[in-house]
Amino acid sequence: MSTPQKATLTFLGAAGTVTGSKYLMTLDDRRILLDAGVFQGDWHARNRDRFPIDPASLSDVLLTHAHTDHVGYLPALVRHGFRGPIWATEASIRLAEIVLRDSGRLQEQAAANAERNGHPKQDPLYDSDDVENTLPLFRAVEWDTNVDIDGIWARWTRSAHILGSASIHVEFGDRSVLFSGDLGRHQHPILKDRETPPGADIVLIESTYGDREHPDPDLPHEDFADTIRRTVDRGGIVVVPAFAIDRTETVLHALVQMRRAGRIPEVPVVVDGPMSLRGLEVYTDESLGELREDITVADFTDLDLTLARTSRDSKELNGRKEPMIIISSSGMAEGGRVLYHLQRLLPDQRNSVVLTGFQAEGTRGRELEEGARQVKINGRYVKVRAEIVRDREFSVHGDASDLMDWLKDLDKEAEEVFVTHGEPEVAKLFAERITDELGWVAVAPKYGEVISLLDDDWDPQDLDPDAPEPQAHSTEPRI
Residues forming contacts to Zn ion in the complex (CB under 5 A) are 67, 182
Q: Nearest distance from residue 276's CB to Zn ion, in Å?
A: 16
Q: Which is nearer to Zn ion, 27 or 242 (CB)?
A: 242
Closer CB to Zn ion, 31 or 67, in the complex: 67
Q: Least distance to Zn ion from the beta carbon of 15, Å?
A: 16
Give the span between the Cα atoms of 251 and 232, in whole angstroms: 18
Q: Is residue 169 packed enough to be buried (19+ CB in 10 Å), middle (13-18) or exposed (0-12)?
A: buried
Q: Indicate the angle between helix axes 90-116 and 274-283, nearest 10 degrees.
A: 170
Please state, in angstroms and rounded to a whole number, the distance separating the CA atoms of residues 139 and 148.
Answer: 12
Q: Is there a contact between 446 and 237 (Cβ–Cβ < 8 Å)?
A: no
Q: In the bound complex, what is the minimum distance in angstroms from residue 88's beta carbon to Zn ion? A: 13
Q: Looking at beta carbons only, is 184 or 323 nearer to Zn ion? A: 184
Question: How far, in Å, are 152, 158, 445 from residue 167 at the CA level?
Answer: 16, 6, 19
User: What distance separates the 2 farthest-apart alpha carbons in the chain?
Assistant: 69
Q: Least distance in Å: CB of 302 to Zn ion?
A: 27
Q: Which of 421, 368, 370 is nearest to 397 (CA)?
A: 421
Q: For Zn ion, give the closer residue by CB, 67 or 169.
A: 67
If the CB atoms of residues 190 and 258 are measured against Zn ion, the closer one turns out to be 190
From 147, 176, 181, 170, select the one nearest 32 (Cα to Cα).
170
Q: Backbone dihedral region of 135: left (phi > 0), alpha (psi from -120 to 50 degrees) or beta?
A: alpha
Closest contact distance (angstroms) between CB of 16 and Zn ion is 18
Q: Enumerate residues 6+ apart whose C-beta is below 8 A from 169.
A: 153, 154, 155, 157, 176, 177, 178, 179, 197, 198, 200
Least gap, CB of 64 to Zn ion (angstroms): 8
CB of 420 to Zn ion, least distance (A): 12
Torsion 35-40-42-43 (CA) sign: positive
Q: Smaller CB distance to Zn ion: residue 67 or 253?
A: 67
Nearer to Zn ion, 40 or 352 (CB): 40
